[in-house]
Chain A
Amino acid sequence: DAGITQSPRYKITETGRQVTLMCHQTWSHSYMFWYRQDLGHGLRLIYYSAAADITDKGEVPDGYVVSRSKTENFPLTLESATRSQTSVYFCATGPGLYEQYFGPGTRLTVT
């Protein structure tokens, strides 16, 4: 039972390229989230989703796009990557209003 997985775990890309980070959960939880983690800023919410086809912006959504056509998947796309988007990205999921469970993270480097 993998629970929540992210792919790739590591990614290096160039400025201006489109990049998609994948998140998959096996619990059928309604809620899913994307965070970025940077030194000095802690964890910041990028986007979240309350159910399939329902998404909303978090604290730092600029430059990112999400979709959720299936309950178990929540991909995050950087349409035109910038160096400021170099970060560790975490996906999380939760069954309701409270607990959130995090994936292992994707370390993204934009050169």
Chain B
Amino acid sequence: QVQLVQSGAEVKKPGASVKVSCKASGYTFTSYDINWVRQATGQGLEWMGWMNPNSGNTGYAQKFQGRVTMTRNTSISTAYMELSSLRSEDTAVYYCARGGGAPTNWGQGTLVTVSS
């Protein structure tokens, strides 16, 4: 079955960077886009961007341009999302999701806490 398993919770200081991983299994990793979505506690969903694991092409929400980088390692079927210059407002659960547009499979989420 399709599974996306994300890395564990992180605590970072303001100004630091965080890199979240998303390991895919149960399907051909390079056949489906990976989207990243975040959710602050008690808030709604916020789309961050997408990556094509085959080509490495990416598209980012304007809000995160210059701060986010989405990459992949096809040999281990893993996607990564790195967010830099962290601030307190970046405290959220970060999800990866399989599929372009309307993703059908989601990771379990990774809590990133930004605190001094």
A and B are partners in one complex rather than unrelated chains:
no
Interface residues of B (CB under 8 A from A): none
Interface residues of A (CB under 8 A from B): none
